[in-house]
Amino acid sequence: MSESRTRKQLPRGRLVEFVRFIFVVLFAIGGYEVVTNIGAPTAGHTVLGIVLGSATGYVAGGVFGRQTAFTLSAVEQEFGKASPAEIAAGVAGLVVGLVIALLLSFPLFRLPAAAAWPAVAFVYLTFPYLGYRIGRAKREEMFSLIGLKPRAAGVGRAEVSVMDTSAFIDGRVLDLVSTGFLSGVLLVPQGVLGELQRIADSSDPGRRARGRRGLEVVAQLQHDPSVEVVLVEEEAMGDVDAGLVRLARDRGGAVVTADANLAKVAEALSVPVRSINALAAGFRVPFLPGEELAVRVIRQGREHGQGVGHLEDGTMVVVEGAGNLLGSDVSVRVTNVLQTSTGRMVFATVADEASAEGEPESERDAGPAAEPEAGGEPRRQAAAEEIEGSKPAPSRRDGPAAGRVRP
């Protein structure tokens, strides 16, 4: 850390040496001019003036060169953090600021010279900088005026997605877009829209509802600023699934689908695929009621008799009747799992007590069908409020976030 900090404090390189060389030459010439203008110069005085000027230029050039390197490095880092859309909008604002400054300079030059030049310099420094800042801050609105979505500008393979009919009918693609899991350019072939329209015109009420839902999802995605929906007209597409895979391969994108068979076909042809069902399976709750876990109780819970522990991945486990087992490794049986906006919470009881106080062995094997113990729901609500504040736990458990975890 100290070595990198020292290197940052004392930048070396061609830029610093080049600036130092320029200063040495300029100050050497300045030393020579000073010596020749103060009187009758001698060879010794001339050499002394050149040496003193060169030494002064060497020191001043090093200081100025390091400051120049620092400034350029900061500018480079700033541009590295900015997106191309930010830079383009900032440059456009800079140009507008320069034009405004140019127009304002004409009446300012009618002032006396002592006041005109400072005023013009102030205008040329202020308005371009102000235009650059406003352009970067209002880039979304500026690009939307000409029909562009800068945040949806897909420049890489991972930012171009070919949408399948099943993805629109599923509807969870809206959640993937709103949470940022899916962004960039969404290619929608004409054949997919045709399938959605045929399903929406079906005589079967269930199919008709699914088709209309898919068309509504397409319409909502077209108004989302984080993605750009592009309708692709494919002539003689034939089979829609084969056309989707071919389009994704030709455009360098990935197929987004909820169809397991299409996902297998795309993988067999080495085409990237984003399966909505596979993503949902990855976020499925790994613990089911009735399963047994081993957890260390580290502190007491909010309610009397509760103990709190954590799993290896940080999941909080609230154990009923474990308040007197602090510091012990306890085998617990899961009674409920609550998915919250801050993570997952597991509610459990001590396995030994659950076996001793529960029903006969044949009925205990049913596990998930057993009713929770009396008073368990208020305690779970209290534990959830301890994590997320005053929001009631049932609304989080029944809300859309939990519903999307399990497809």
Residue-wise pLDDT for 236-286, tens only, equals 556 778 888 888 888 888 899 888 888 888 888 888 888 888 887 777 667
- Bridge partners, residue 319, by sequence: 307, 348
- Same domain assignment for residues 298 and 368: yes
Q: Are 61 and 23 in contact (CB under 8 A)?
A: yes
Query: Domain check: are 303 and 393 in the same one?
Result: yes
- pLDDT value for 7: 44
Instruction: Report pLDDT for 238.
Output: 65
Q: How far is CA 312 from CA 238, 292, 316, 321, in A?
A: 51, 15, 10, 22
Confidence (pLDDT) at 19:
85
257 and 342 together in one domain: no
Distances (CA, A) of 91 to 88, 95, 100, 127, 143: 5, 6, 14, 13, 13
201 lies in the same domain as 272? yes
Q: What angle do CA 303, 373, 329 make, to 5 degrees?
A: 60
Distance CA 276, CA 257 (A): 6
The CATH number given to whatever domain includes residue 214 is 3.40.50.1010
Residue 365 identity: D
pTM of the model: 0.45
DSSP state of 371: P
Reading the block at residue 345, the tokens are: 């919470």
Q: Are residues 108 and 224 in the same domain?
A: no
What pLDDT is attached to residue 375? Answer: 46
Phi–psi pair at 189, nearest 5 degrees: -65, 155
Instruction: Work out the mean pLDDT of the chain and round it to a whole number.
Output: 76
Asked, for residue 347, whether it belongs to a domain, the answer is: yes
Statement to judge: residues 68 and 114 lie in one domain: no
User: Facing residues of 231 across strands?
Assistant: 188
150 pLDDT band, cuts 50/70/90, is: low
Strand segments (E) across 126-183: 160-163
Would you give the end-to-end CA distance of the chain in angstroms? 47
Torsion 60-62-65-66 (CA) sign:
negative
Residue by residue, DSSP assigns 17-38 as: HHHHHHHHHHHHHHHHHHHHHS
Nearest to 222 by CA among 149, 276, 274: 149
How far apart (Å, rounded) are the C-alpha atoms in residues 53 and 62? 14
Q: How many other C-beta atoms can be found within 10 angstroms of the C-beta atom of residue 286?
A: 12
Q: Buried (b) or exposed (e) across 346-369, using 16+ Cβ within 10 A?
A: bbbbbbeebeeeeeeeeeeeeeee
Which pLDDT value is given to residue 79? 73
Domain identity same for 207 and 188: yes
- Same-domain check for residues 330 and 390: yes
- Segment 70-75 mean pLDDT: 82
Please say if the pLDDT value at position 134 is more than 80.
yes
Residues 6+ away with beta carbon under 8 Å from 198: 211
Query: 147 in the Ramachandran plot: left (φ > 0), alpha (ψ -120 to 50) or beta?
Result: left
Q: How far apart are CA 31 and CA 216, in angstroms?
A: 79
For residue 104 the two structure tokens come to 């304002």
Q: Supply 339's token pair.
A: 């998915």
Q: For 289, which DSSP code?
A: T
Phi, psi of 24 (to 5 degrees): -60, -45
Q: Which of 101, 118, 145 is the last residue of a domain?
A: 145
Check whether residue 117 and residue 128 sit in a common domain: yes
Residue 357 main-chain phi, psi, to 5 deg: -95, -5
Q: Are residues 315 and 363 in the same domain?
A: yes
Is residue 287 a part of any domain in this protein?
A: no
3-state class (DSSP) for residue 159 = helix
235 and 316 in a common domain: no
CB count within 10 Å of CB 150 equals 18
CB-based contacts of 137: which residues, under 8 Å, 6+ apart? none
Task: Examine the domain organization and report whether 135 and 171 are in the same domain.
Answer: no
Q: What pLDDT, in 10s, does the model give residues 272-314?
A: 888 888 887 777 667 778 888 888 888 888 888 888 988 876 7
Cα separation, 168 vs 170, in Å, equals 5
Q: Give the pair of three-digit tokens for residue 130.
A: 């102000």
Q: Is the pLDDT of residue 182 over 90?
A: no
| Better-predicted residue by pLDDT, 124 or 146 | 124
Q: What is the mean pLDDT of the segment spanning 345-363?
A: 63
| Domain end residue (candidates: 255, 282, 309) | 282
Question: Over 50: is that where the pLDDT of 400 sits?
Answer: no
Residue 230: which of 283, 153, 314 has the closest Cα?
153
Q: How far is Cα 232 from Cα 246, in angstroms, rounded to an integer?
A: 13
pLDDT of res. 6: 42
Is residue 136 in some structural domain?
yes
Last residue of a domain, one of 282, 303, 318: 282
Residue 124 lies in domain = 84-145
45-54, 223-232, 387-396: segment of lowest average pLDDT: 387-396
Per the structure, how many domains does the chain have?
4
- How far apart CA 224 and CA 149 sit, in angstroms, is 9
**Nearest-CA neighbor of 170 among 84, 268, 296, 276?**
276
| pLDDT of the residue at 381 | 52
Cβ–Cβ under 8 Å, residues 377 and 257: no
